[in-house]
């Protein structure tokens, strides 16, 4: 289903696309920013909202916390909005103080995408990003496909570029599987199979170190709630005013994260081909959108600021390379109050 959702200041129409299947999963996607406005799961006798969303297009145009947005060309921060490649300095748009965040002032999340194909449970969006948009080199042909299969939302992001360009996209929904803003998102059980993390400076730029999670608040290898795992005296937690860090996944894992709300009985497994996961606990929502409560962002991606960090995996897409990033969000429902192991068994 497709309907008008609003009009951009330049007169272009934004549409809301609704996807449904017979397994009780429903998604709402905007052509503006590829925004995942809503995701709902039939759980027992009710439909549980799983992600945070805003009421109308003006609210999304004002939002600077990337609620539900598709993020690119790069996710995370690039220090001082600049990087060097092949002896040339490239300057990107800056939109967080002096730094470039989540693709800059334009980027994927603030672009109008065209609908290339849509049916009841699948949509494909596409857009051409011209050479120089937000400072990035090369003309980039980007596409994103969202598909419902059973109780899984599959996201596939593809790209081709005609010049070397940083490329590391992700999706940025905020999850509160309780389906109730009065239930703290930090009370959800979280497991991330990451044995290392990236320490940051006071401006949340990675220091270049890849540190062990052992003995730190960043160890989520066993299920624990963020509110219980955090340590407000930890210097890294203090810098981010909470969690806003990149967790490096253990070698060989395809599971990026697992999340469970005993309040609703809804569990989620995030799987991806990305090597890391940024965990952001949504603390800025307290001021920007207090009526929403908090949601947890679990962002499969590469390493932030990779173009400036020689010790990080390369994040340059070369001409002729076809980029593919896959993310899958799988859901299950058990009786509220069930044990973690029961919820994970339902995801199997």
Annotated active-site positions, please?
172, 299
Task: Yes or no: say if 272 and 254 are a contact pair by the CB < 8 Å rule.
Answer: yes
CB atoms within 10 A of CB 86: 7
DSSP 8-state code for residue 65:
S
User: How far, in Å, CA of 210 to CA of 199, rounded?
Assistant: 7
| Cα atoms found within 13 Å of the Cα of residue 257, Cβ hemisphere only | 27
Q: Strand ranges (DSSP E) for 165-231?
A: 165-166, 170-172, 174-175, 189-191, 194-197, 211-212
Residue located via tokens 């395809």:
254
How many angstroms separate the first and last alpha carbons of the chain? 31
Length of the chain: 348
Beta bridge partners of 3: 16
The maximal CA–CA distance of the chain, rounded, in angstroms, is 61
CB 173 within 8 A of CB 166: no
DSSP 99-150: BEETT-SSSGGGSBPEEEEEETTEEEEEEEEPTTGGG--S-EEEEEEEEEET
309 φ, ψ (degrees, to nearest 5): -120, 105
**68 Cβ partners below 8 Å, 6+ apart?**
33, 35, 36, 37, 51, 52, 53, 172, 173, 174
Contact 151, 41 (CB under 8 A): yes
């Amino acid at each position: 289903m497709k309907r008008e959702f609003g009009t951009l200041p330049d007169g272009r129409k934004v549409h809301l696309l609704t996807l449904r299947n017979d397994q009780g999963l429903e998604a709402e996607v905007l052509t503006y920013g590829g925004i995942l406005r809503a995701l709902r799961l039939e759980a027992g006798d009710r439909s549980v909202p799983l992600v945070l969303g805003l009421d109308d297009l003006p609210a999304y145009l004002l939002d600077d916390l990337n609620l539900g947005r598709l993020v690119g060309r790069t996710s995370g921060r690039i220090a001082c909005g600049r990087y060097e490649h092949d002896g040339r300095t490239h300057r990107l748009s800056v939109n967080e103080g002096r730094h470039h965040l989540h693709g800059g002032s334009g980027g994927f999340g603030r672009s109008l995408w065209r609908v290339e194909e849509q049916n009841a449970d699948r949509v494909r969006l596409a857009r051409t990003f011209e050479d120089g948009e937000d400072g990035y080199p090369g003309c980039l042909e980007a596409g994103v496909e969202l598909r419902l299969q059973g109780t899984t939302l599959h996201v596939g992001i593809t790209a081709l570029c005609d010049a070397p360009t940083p490329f590391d996209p992700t999706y940025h929904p905020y999850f509160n599987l309780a389906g109730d803003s009065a239930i703290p998102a930090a009370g959800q059980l979280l497991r991330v199979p990451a044995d290392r993390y990236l320490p940051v400076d006071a401006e949340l730029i990675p220091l270049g170190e890849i540190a062990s999670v052992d003995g730190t608040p960043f160890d989520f290898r066993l299920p624990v709630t963020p509110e219980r795992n955090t340590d407000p005296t930890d210097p890294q937690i203090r810098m981010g005013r909470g969690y806003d860090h990149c967790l490096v996944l253990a070698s060989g894992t395809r599971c990026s994260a697992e999340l469970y709300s005993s309040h609703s009985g809804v569990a989620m497994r995030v799987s991806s081909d990305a090597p890391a996961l940024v965990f952001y606990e949504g603390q800025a929502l307290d001021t920007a959108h207090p009526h929403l409560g908090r949601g947890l962002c679990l962002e499969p991606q590469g390493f932030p600021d990779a173009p400036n960090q020689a010790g990080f995996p390369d994040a340059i897409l070369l001409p002729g390379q076809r980029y593919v990033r896959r993310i899958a969000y799988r859901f299950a429902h058990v009786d509220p109050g069930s044990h973690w192991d029961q919820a994970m068994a339902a995801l199997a």
